[in-house]
Structures are given as C-alpha cells and as structure tokens.
Amino acid sequence: MKKLLIIFVKNPEIGKVKTRLAKSIGDKRALNVYLNLLIHTQGVTDKLEEVDRAVYYSDFIDEEDQWDADDYQKFLQQGNGLGERMANAFRRAFQSGYDSVCLIGTDLYDLSVDLVNSAFKKLESSDVVIGPAKDGGYYLIGMKQPHDVFDLSHWSTPNVFSETMKLIDKNELSCSQTKLLNDIDILEDLKGTDLERLTGL
C-alpha cells in the first residue's frame, strides 16, 4: 500500500501565524511558538518509515527551508478556503497513485511517530480516520479515496469536528478515531508544555 502524509503549513511570517495566540503574547513570540511547532513536526515526520511526505504551503513554496526537498514533496495549497484546499490536496495524492493518505497541520505538540502510524493502521479497516482536537476541530484526517467530508460552511469554530462527523455519517462511511489531543492555538494550550519554556513565556 502506497502511503502519503500531507503536512499543511503556513509560511512563517510575523503577524500571519498563530494570530489567536498573538493576542496574548504578541506577534514575535507567537511566531517563535510556530517555528518551534514546525521543528517538532519535522522531527517527527523525518522518522516515518514507508510513508512518503508532502508539504503544502499556504502562500509560496520555499525551496530553501527546513523541509529537505529530497525527503519532502513540495506543493502550494490550491483553493479558496481550507476545506477546498484540503480536498484538492487529497485529490492530487490519489491521482498520483497513493492508496492511503493522511493530512495533518503543524499545531500539534503531541504529534508522534506512533500517532501517525496508528492513523494509517486504523485506515486499513476504515474509510476515514480522524483525530479529534480538544477545541472542537481535528488535527488529522485520512482517507483511501476522495470523499465529500470538507464541505463545511465555517472553519475555525468549535463545531468543525462534529460537522465533519455529520458529513461522514451522511456519506455512510466507516470512521475510526485517534486519541483526543490538544492543538496549540491559545495561551492556555501552552501551559505546562515544554513549548512554554522554549518560547521564554
């Protein structure tokens, strides 16, 4: 089975990343948090075996950044909203011959090799795998073929996970879940993590 992990990233520019967090700690520190999350995400994904990896950039493809082009395919996100961008990334992956595709962002400090491997394992016996986040969204989604699970009217709300599950049920798809985890979006999410220390908060 040909596997692909898609990593959605925002180009790290001050004032454009972790904007909710920046309201509490300022743009510069919010950028520092995001850069640390990028480093952590790459540290995990570098260790994956038998899984291809593709980075999808929000604004422009950076050929000189931390993501080694020998190890990571690089693409630009295409579409008007997040749902359309994710759907297009999955579509490209399946058109390229992948059988099992998962997508993550870079907000999850609890990301681990075991977590990603578990998602791909669950996908072997389910149409969809999803990783619920404590804020009501999700940090991971995976499929074995394109499904209409991204047609939400609003994103970045506490209802993203529940609305996505409604679409999964509506399409009569089987679904497995990975563990409930916490995205890093607001100051409270940093409390007690190593990331709080790394960013000097």
Q: Which tens digits make up the pLDDT trace of 170-184?
A: 999 999 999 999 999
* Confidence (pLDDT) at 200: 62
* Confidence (pLDDT) at 193: 82
Residue 201 lies in a domain: no
Is 197's pLDDT higher than 80?
Answer: no
Average pLDDT, the chain: 94
* Confidence (pLDDT) at 94: 98
* Confidence (pLDDT) at 27: 93
Q: Which two tokens stand for residue 197?
A: 């220390």
Q: Which two tokens stand for residue 200?
A: 């000097």
Residue 97 lies in a domain: yes
- Spell out the SS3 assignment of the chain: CCEEEEEEECCCCCCCCCHHHHHHHCHHHHHHHHHHHHHHHHHHHCCCCCCEEEEEECCCCCCCCCCCCCCCEEEECCCCCHHHHHHHHHHHHHHCCCCEEEEECCCECCCCHHHHHHHHHHHCCCCEEEEEECCCCEEEEEECCCCCCCCCCCCCCCCHHHHHHHHHHHCCCCEEECCCECECCCHHHHCCCHHHHHCCC
Is 154's pLDDT higher than 90?
Answer: no
* Confidence (pLDDT) at 195: 78
* Confidence (pLDDT) at 196: 79
Residue 127 lies in a domain: yes
Q: What is the mean pLDDT of residues 146-175?
A: 93
When divided into structural domains, the chain yields a total of 1
Residue 199 lies in a domain: no
Residue 155 lies in a domain: yes
Residue 94 lies in a domain: yes
Task: Give the closest residue to 80 by CA, choosing from 155, 130, 12.
Answer: 155
Is 198's pLDDT higher than 80?
Answer: no
Domain range for 125 is 3-194
Q: What is the pTM of this model?
A: 0.95
Is 199's pLDDT higher than 80?
Answer: no
d(CA 189, CA 166): 27
User: What CATH number should be reported for the domain holding residue 44?
Assistant: 3.90.550.10
Residue 41 lies in a domain: yes
Q: Which tens digits make up the pLDDT trace of 95-142?
A: 999 999 999 999 999 999 999 999 999 999 999 999 999 999 999 999
CA angle 33-11-59, nearest 5°? 155
Q: Which two tokens stand for residue 175?
A: 């679904």
Whether residue 171 contacts residue 148, with contact meaning beta carbons closer than 8 Å, is answered with: yes
Q: What is the mean pLDDT of residues 76-104?
A: 97
Residue 19 lies in a domain: yes
